[in-house]
Chains A and B, each alone.
Chain A
Amino acid sequence: MGGFWSHVVEPGFFQSQTVQVALLVGGVVAAISAVVGVLTVLRGQSFAGHALGDISATGGSGAFLLSINPLFGFLGMGLAAAGCMEAIGVRRVRGRDVATGIVLGAALGVAALFLYFDTTFHSTSGAAITVLFGSLFVVSSSTVPAIIACASGALVVVLVLYRPLLLSSVGDDVAAARGVPVRVIGGLFILTMAVTVALSAITIGAILSTALLIGPAATALRMTRRPVTATATAVAIGVAATWVGCLLAYDSFYWPPVNHGWPVSFCIVALVFVFYLAVDLVRSFRLRRTNLPADKSNGAVVRAHPLDTLSTGIEAASASGSE
């Protein structure tokens, strides 16, 4: 680490092997996170995605304790948790958040224990920081093949299940009526989410993995009306934020406090958030300008009949849905 920072000067950014690994891993992980993230948000499973990130911290801290590659810790724990959540929560859609919450609580308790052991027995106070907040610059190049394999696997699953996943985001009953085996599809998706979150955890840390999963997706959803363009936009945002974040973190070595680079995870997450805010601002500005005469209530002709004054909610049927 120290060697890296003292050897490199600004023009060396693209020559540094650490940076190359960071850009490769960051790009791949940001892309798959964005793809899975769009479906996660569409399917209303953002909470599960966030919980899987937190839970994978348990695996990461456990891996530190056993001195194995943290990626496998993140992966193992994430998959186990996803399985648990699916097993507990399958009965009702409503049960999903509750099941997620229960598994999350239990796993975080174990994470606290592991991190305590990490710092006590291994006297590596850096373990907590690395597990929770990660750093793209410490990903070892030997992990790269595993990361790319996992990302490819996740991408294949999502592409194969794309239409059924999209359809069941409208409603499990709607999808089931079309002959989609919703239980199987939902189970496979949450496992894919766990893999993606594990990758994201190793990239920007377990706690921050949500930012890469949900952030670009949430931004993209505000910018487009089509699932495919939303996915492409999310990928672009995620990858851009990650790469620019790397560059900023690299440059931040010369910012105050001098000779202490800013955490790369912070830079990435900050960029994701700034981008979201910018898009939101532009969007609400545009909406305000185009919506001036839009008074929804005068769109519908409601013929009142004395017997119907109590009938269920009278809703304005404004026929102006299109843009």
Chain B
Amino acid sequence: MADLTESTSADSRTPILELDGIGVWLSGREILHDVKFEVRPGELVGLIGSNGAGKTTIFRVILGLLTPSSGRVLIVGGPRPRRNRSVGYVPQKIALDPDMPLRSRDLVALGLDGHKLGVSLPSRRRREMVDEMLHAVDAMPFANARVGSLSGGEQQRVMIAHALISRPKLLLLDEPLANLDLRSEQEVVELLAEIAKEHGVAVLISAHDLNPVLPVVDRVVYVAHGHVASGTTDEVVTTDVLSQLYGHNVDVIRLHGRILVVAGPSPRADPALMEQLGRLSNPVDDTVAV
């Protein structure tokens, strides 16, 4: 893979991203409460939580799209600059119809100069950089295809290339594995691990399912009801910690290298839900986020 980062001159101990006591209120409701975690260079951190837990909101705060009511975000030890190109972002979905004339390589090039005014002139150097990046994420076969017509996994790769081409120190990906089949899921996860390990990029990815990212994450930040618990998987994904986070009993079951989090016996548990959980060994609901 191409060299994706500038030389990591900063002390690799300094966190690239630091959230400190972030609180968010939206429409009179507390969405996030005292969110605190950090991501270091070369680290791949999983932001795990079920739908509506607050993962996207955390990304929006980091990107400066949402001003928190309390707390602060530090990027490379300082306040987030207004125009920040040291952060790459891959949203969960992009808003392009299949017949929109924007090729993969156009979108990747926009990662380099999309914020600039004026029209870009053809440049050999830029084309080489785009090719290199498309190559790095294995997106060459569909480099000239319309972005909107690609499958979810292909779009994901193109967006990763778009985010990486400006050589950010921090890469944020919102549910990059949602809507991927198993094989693409594995490929994307491996690609992200490679980006973090070989190029020292700090990577934060959100997921509603812990298992696909389990083999590669260094640490997890578990989100439930706007509260977070962070640490290694072994520290966080335990019956005690998650029961406290969810506010009721949950059981953490390790099975053939997979981790299942299921609602434990609780006086408040809904019998219908319990029955559903008994039938399905797959997470379906707020109480069984993993």
Contacts and interface: CB of A to CB of B under 8 A. Distances in A.
- Our verdict on whether A and B bind, yes or no, reads yes
Interface of A: 41-42, 44, 159-164, 166-167, 169-171, 173-180, 220-222, 224-227, 229-230, 300-303, 305-323
Contact of A167 (B60, B114, B146, B282): B114
Given A160-B118, A178-B166, A302-B181, 9 more contacts: A164-B114, A166-B110, A170-B107, A170-B147, A171-B93, A174-B91, A222-B99, A306-B281, A319-B142
Given A167-B110, A169-B96, A179 B144 contact: no
B91 A173 contact: yes
A225 B63 contact: no
A176 B65 contact: yes
* Size category of the binding interface on chain B: 35 or more
Nearest to B103: A225
A169 B100 contact: yes
B152 interface: yes
B202 interface: no
B184 interface: yes
Nearest to A163: B114
Interface of B: 60, 63-65, 82-85, 87-89, 91, 93-97, 99-104, 106-107, 110-111, 113-120, 141-147, 149-154, 159, 162, 166, 172, 178-184, 209, 258, 280-282, 284
Contacts of B113: 163
A179 B281 contact: no
Contacts of B141: 319-322
Nearest to A305: B182
Contacts of A42: 100-102
Given A224-B101, A225-B101, A316-B181, A307 B117 contact: no
Contact of B280 (A164, A226, A302, A310): A310
Given A169-B96, A300-B183, A315-B181, A322 B142 contact: yes
B83 A179 contact: yes
Contacts of B118: 159-160, 162-163
B89 A300 contact: no
A312 B258 CA distance: 17
Nearest to A179: B83
Nearest to A221: B101
Residue of A173, A220, A301 with highest tally of chain B CB at under 10 A: A173
A317 B95 contact: no
A214 B181 CA distance: 37
A315 B120 contact: no
Contacts of A308: 182, 282
A310 B284 contact: yes
B159 to A, nearest CB: 8
Contacts of A170: 94-96, 102, 107, 110, 147
